[in-house]
Amino acid sequence: MRSARDPNATAIAVLRIVVGLFFIVFGEYKVFGTQFTLHGGFQHYVSGMIHGGAYPFMVPVLKTILAHCATLMAFAVAYGELLIGISLVIGVRSRLASFFGFLLMMAMWLSGGYPGAAAPFWEYWGASLDWSIFTLCFLVLMLGQPEQVWSFGGKR
């Protein structure tokens, strides 16, 4: 195990904690408020993605979610974001949380980052910045050893 003085281990821990804090905030307002889960917030986001941001192959998936299990998916997203954030901040099961965070961000990226068929290649990256940055952070956390320092789940 690296010591807390290892700058790489410290940098990964800072990344883990900062991303975790973002996801605690993202999940907190969804879990402890009812607008996102019970009063149409999730459906509003998904509807917006269907009508102007989803990659074409994702539109049937999003329509199915809206038609059949929107409330269940709203709660899954809300609690998932909160649990990902808590896991990363305390440093317990960080790689597993990062895996689920990566999947969530990829789903968001494919559901909301489509610039259109005629867009130049660089616009695919520009349209995805809301999700691609966190996707890359989760990838780094999955590949690294995020619990080496400042965690309750690290090896002692």
pLDDT, tens digit, 9 for 90 and up, residues 12-33: 999 999 999 999 999 999 999 9
Separation CA 108–CA 127 (nearest Å): 12
- The pLDDT of residue 67 is 80
Separation CA 116–CA 118 (nearest Å): 6
DSSP assignments along 23-72, one per residue = HHHHHHHHHHSSTTTTSSHHHHHHHHHHTTTS-GGGHHHHHHHHHH-HHH
Dihedral sign of CA atoms 133, 142, 26, 39 in order: positive
Q: With beta carbons less than 8 A apart as the criterion, state whether 132 and 109 touch.
A: yes
Half-sphere CA count of 64, side-chain side, radius 13 A: 5
Confidence (pTM): 0.91
Q: With beta carbons less than 8 A apart as the criterion, state whether 82 and 27 touch.
A: yes
- The pLDDT of residue 155 is 59
Separation CA 130–CA 118 (nearest Å): 21
pLDDT 10s digits, 45-102 = 999 999 888 999 999 999 998 888 999 999 999 999 999 999 999 999 999 999 999 9
